[in-house]
């Protein structure tokens, strides 16, 4: 899922998403199984071309690194975006009560009406957005399904999608599977990886249908400020056929007084914006797999059948957990953010002392750190880090041009994080001294 080519700092300019085709599987050492030659199965030979374009697969350097740490308990893993803070007990209890009653069947494809009503209240109170619970909100199996369904609902073959890069890996995959054509729009460390309106404008053609906004951003931890969002809305307004996915999954995980603004609240944007959110990051509910999208009623109606065809409905116990998350006490979130503030400060202090640079992490729980001073590229640096007992993601997982970056999370208890940063310091200094 990695685009070809390097880019200069100011290359807003169109970069078509030609994704690297996967290398063939290595041949099996056993020559026959059930009488069939085992170099490749018939099914493997019949894979769709689009599937080959999205496969990173077990032969990629990233997965080779992951295989090296399988079964090892000496590795401090700062690689995933999965909160380590426990799910609040009242959320778990709500899901258990649903299981205990035996009410574990299907729900309507749009989700429990009680949950959609709670989501509508959340939109009004938190985001100043008005949505009708029955017709303008669709509950999905995680925010990622909302994204996939939206792309399948909107895109015709060859439609262009503008996507800021570095980017979350699932977006290119789902754009390709939906038949879309990716146009990458650069963001840079020196601007804290903020997507700029002039870069968007430069990338628009008569084939452009969709702009994807992800703020706060994964992997860069950048945010789009109110001023920049307003300027982006001006660009969108000047292109009547352009519609927007606003991925706001990390809206609750922001720092330094930053106020999250939903793109759909801006003048003329409600009618052309799909707002996507979920429960994984704000409530430590990754395994529950509950997300949602909101938009105009006629769009939500159109998206409901593709969603129904994919997975029918979202797990009922999970929906009860999500309802409890919205209707229950919210003090958990303040405690969570206090902890993340402390961890972010620990990582910033360590990197500043070592001379590791980064875009200012204004949202989420990552640093997208520049490791060019180590003398290694991201894959080699991440592979070497395993020998020091730490695991993080090389930047080229998120963009081929990000080979001098790593994404490292602070989703570990502070004692483990302190140990990980001490190990990182030894790794950094050894690389700098040529060891």
CA atoms within 13 A of residue 343's CA, in its CB half-sphere: 27
What value does the mean pLDDT take over residues 287-311?
A: 96
* Percent of the chain at pLDDT exceeding 70: 90
Compute the distance between CA of residue 377 and CA of residue 386 in angstroms, rounded to an integer.
Answer: 15
Residue 364 near residue 82, CB atoms below 8 Å: no
Other C-beta atoms closer than 10 Å to the C-beta of 166 total: 26
What domains are there in the chain, each with its CATH number?
Answer: 61-86+331-432 (3.90.1150.10), 103-327 (3.40.640.10)
Instruction: For the chain, give the mean pLDDT.
Output: 90
Compute the distance between CA of residue 219 and CA of residue 168 in angstroms, rounded to an integer.
Answer: 6
The larger pLDDT score, comparing residue 67 to residue 381, is at 381
Phi, psi of 244 (to 5 degrees): -135, 135
Q: With bands split at pLDDT 50, 70 and 90, how would you rate the model's confidence at 6?
A: very low
What value does the mean pLDDT take over residues 198-209?
A: 98
Lay out the sheet containing 357-358: strands in order across: 357-358, 366-370, 405-409, 393-394
Tens digits of per-residue pLDDT, 339-368?
999 999 999 999 999 999 999 999 999 999
Q: Is 123 helix (H, G, I), strand (E, B) or coil?
A: helix
Compute the distance between CA of residue 114 and CA of residue 117 in angstroms, rounded to an integer.
Answer: 5
> How open is the CA angle 53-164-120, to the nearest 5 degrees?
105
Query: Residue 83 forms beta bridges with which residues?
Result: none
Instruction: Report pLDDT for 64.
Output: 80
Tens digits of per-residue pLDDT, 143-198?
999 999 999 999 999 999 999 999 999 999 999 999 999 999 999 999 999 999 99
Tens digits of per-residue pLDDT, 215-270?
999 999 999 999 999 999 999 999 999 999 999 999 999 999 999 999 999 999 99
What value does the mean pLDDT take over residues 402-412?
A: 97
Instruction: Report pLDDT for 305.
Output: 94
What value does the mean pLDDT take over residues 379-406?
A: 95
Instruction: Report pLDDT for 51.
Output: 86
E strand or H helix that includes residue 366: strand 366-370
Q: With bands split at pLDDT 50, 70 and 90, how would you rate the model's confidence at 9?
A: very low
Instruction: Report pLDDT for 25.
Output: 36
Q: Which residue has the tokens 């106020």?
A: 259
Is 70 exceeded by the pLDDT of residue 3? Answer: no
Q: Which residue has the tokens 């593709």?
A: 306
Instruction: Report pLDDT for 210.
Output: 99
Does the predicted TM-score (pTM) go above 0.75?
A: yes
Is 90 exceeded by the pLDDT of residue 54? Answer: no
Pairing mode of beta strands 137-140, 291-294: antiparallel
- CB under 8 Å to 85, separation ≥6 — which residues? 284, 336, 339
Dmax over Cα atoms in the chain, in whole Å? 65
Is 60 exceeded by the pLDDT of residue 33? Answer: no
């Amino acid at each position: 899922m990695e685009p070809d080519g390097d880019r200069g700092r100011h290359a807003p300019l169109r970069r078509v998403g030609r994704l690297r085709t996967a290398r063939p599987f290595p041949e099996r050492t056993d020559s026959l199984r059930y009488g069939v030659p085992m170099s490749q199965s018939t099914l493997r030979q019949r894979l769709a071309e689009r599937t080959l374009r999205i496969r990173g697969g077990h032969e990629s350097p990233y997965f080779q690194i992951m295989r090296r740490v399988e079964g090892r308990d000496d590795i401090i893993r700062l690689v995933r975006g999965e909160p380590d803070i426990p799910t609040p007990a009242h959320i778990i209890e709500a899901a258990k009560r649903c299981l205990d009653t035996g009410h574990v069947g299907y729900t309507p494809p749009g989700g429990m009406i009680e949950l959609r009503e709670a989501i509508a209240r959340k939109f009004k109170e938190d985001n100043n957005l008005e949505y009708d619970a029955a017709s303008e909100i669709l509950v999905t199996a995680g925010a990622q399904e909302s994204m996939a369904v939206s792309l399948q609902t909107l895109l015709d073959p060859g439609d262009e999608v503008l996507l800021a890069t570095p980017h979350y890996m699932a977006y290119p995959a789902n754009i390709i599977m939906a038949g879309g054509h990716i146009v990458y729009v650069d963001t840079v460390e020196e601007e804290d990886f903020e997507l700029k309106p002039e870069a968007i404008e430069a990338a628009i053609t008569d084939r452009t249908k969709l702009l994807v906004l992800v703020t706060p951003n994964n992997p860069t931890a950048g945010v789009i400020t109110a001023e920049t969002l307003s300027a982006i809305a001006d660009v969108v307004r000047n292109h009547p056929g352009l519609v927007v996915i606003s991925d706001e999954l990390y809206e609750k995980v922001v720092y330094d007084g930053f106020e999250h603004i939903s793109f759909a609240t801006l003048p003329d944007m409600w009618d052309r914006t799909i707002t996507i959110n979920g429960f994984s990051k704000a409530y430590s509910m990754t395994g529950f797999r509950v997300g949602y999208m909101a938009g105009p009623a006629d769009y939500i109606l159109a998206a409901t059948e593709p969603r129904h065809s994919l997975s029918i409905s979202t797990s009922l116990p999970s929906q009860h957990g999500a309802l409890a998350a919205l209707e229950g006490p919210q003090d958990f979130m303040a405690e969570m953010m206090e902890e993340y503030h402390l961890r972010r400060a620990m990582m910033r202090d360590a990197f500043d002392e070592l001379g590791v640079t980064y875009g200012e992490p204004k949202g989420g729980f990552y640093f997208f750190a520049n490791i060019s001073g180590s003398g290694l590229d991201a894959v080699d640096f991440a592979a070497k880090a395993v020998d020091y007992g730490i695991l993080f993601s090389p930047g080229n997982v998120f963009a081929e041009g990000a080979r001098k970056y790593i994404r490292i999370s602070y989703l570990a208890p502070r004692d483990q994080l302190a140990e990980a940063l001490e190990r990182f310091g030894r790794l950094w200094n050894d690389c700098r001294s040529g060891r």
